[in-house]
A and B are shown apart, each in its own frame.
Chain A
C-alpha cells in the first residue's frame, strides 16, 4: 500500500497569512504514460463531509477560491492557502488514487492564530 504522510499535523495561521501543508507518498504517484500525478486534496469542515479542492495535484475544482493551490510531483506535494480566511478553518487531506487501495494522509488541521 502507498502510505501518505502529511505535515504538519496541525498549524495555526493568522488571518490573511499563508498556510502550507505538505504531503509525501511512499512511492511515486506520477503515471508516466500521461504525466499525471494521481493526487487529490480535500477540505473537511467540522461536522461536514469532505469536499474536493484540488485534483491531478494542481487543478483547482471550479468553484474553489483561487487562494487554494496545489503543487508538486512524484512523491512530494503541497497545498497552499495564499491568504487564510476564517472559513478555511478545517482539516485537509491528501489522497492518492494511483493504485489500490486508495489511501489518504492522516489530515492536517488548520486553525486561526
Chain B
C-alpha cells in the first residue's frame, strides 16, 4: 500500500536551515506530483509547495517562496524540502502528500504521511 514517511524535523534556531525528506513506497513514485503541507501546533492546514512528477514544475506558497526549495529524486523514491532562513512562524508539522495519478498542480491530495515536526526557536 501507499506509504509516505517523513524525516528530518528538528529544533533549529531562527535563521537556520533544515532539510526534510519523504520516503515513498507502494507506488510508482515517478508517476505522481508530490506536495508539502504544514500545520502549526493547534492550527489548520497550510499548503507549502508542490513538484511535478518529472521535476519540471514547482510552485510555492508566498510565505516560503525564496526560502524553501522542493526537490525529488525519482531513482531514490524520495521527496525533499530544503528550508533556509527559518522563522518562528515556520514551526509546524510538515506533511508529505501525493496527488492522484494523472493530476497536475490542480488536484486534491489522496495520500498523506504521518508528518515531521519542525520547531524554530532560540
Contacts of A98 in B (CB 8 A): 106
User: How many inter-chain contacts with C-beta < 8 Å in the A-B complex?
Assistant: 51
* Contact call A107/B44, Cβ cutoff below 8 A: yes
Binary per-residue interface labels of chain B (41-57) against chain A in the complex, 1 for a CB within 8 Å, 0 otherwise: 00011110000000000
Interface-facing stretch out of B23-31, B84-92, B108-116: B108-116
Q: Are B112 and A50 in contact (CB under 8 A)?
A: yes
Q: Which residues of A contact B44 (CB under 8 A)?
A: 93, 104-107
Give Cα A42 to B112, complex, Å. Answer: 11
Q: B38 CB to closest chain A CB, in angstroms? A: 11
Q: How many residues of B contact A (CB 8 A)?
A: 21
Q: Is A49 an interface residue (CB 8 A)?
A: yes
If A101-B47, A101-B61, A104-B46 touch, whether A49 touches B106 (CB-CB below 8 Å) is: no
The contact size tier of chain A is 20 to 34
Give the one of A93, A97, A98 with max B CB within 10 A.
Answer: A97
Q: Is A95 an interface residue (CB 8 A)?
A: yes
A51 lies within 8 A of chain B by Cβ: yes
A-binding residues in B (CB < 8 A) = 37, 44-47, 59, 61-62, 95, 100, 105-115
Binding site for B on A (CB under 8 A): 38, 40, 42, 48-52, 55-56, 61, 93, 95, 97-98, 100-107
